[in-house]
Amino acid sequence: MVAGKVVVGAHYGLKDWLAQRVTAVVMALYSLWMFGLILVSPPNDFAAWRWLFSHSGIKAATFVFLVSLFWHAWIGVRDIFMDYIQDTWLRLLLQVLAIVALVGYAGWSIQILWSI
């Protein structure tokens, strides 16, 4: 054991590790469910895909999948930035850009899913 080790930085620990594992499980379950759904009744054309995603349950499950994907991506990208970008201001700028992009993707997802 190393005595006197000081851990600096925000968000190290069990919470982020657990969040990344939970989001991975959510994405895996959704992927298996959707694969099974498409395997049982494969959509042949755009109208069939539109019909499939017109159900509110599919929309909600897809949105949960996408939120899990964005959260999972944020944790991974943030950890990469914290590990490899030493300049504080550059790291902050990249993190802000990543947050803006991921929030924008979430908004775009809502727009796409609920416009069907």
Confidence of residue 10 (pLDDT cuts 50, 70, 90): low
Q: Give the relative orientation of helices 88-113 and 56-84 as an angle to the nearest 10 degrees.
A: 170
* Segment 96-106 mean pLDDT: 97
The residue that leads in pLDDT, 3 or 22, is 22
Taking the model in full, what pTM does it have?
A: 0.83
Residue 2 has pLDDT above 80, yes or no: no
Q: pLDDT at position 13, please? A: 72
Contact at 8 Å (CB) between 30 and 64?
yes
* Segment 98-109 mean pLDDT: 96
Average pLDDT, the chain: 91
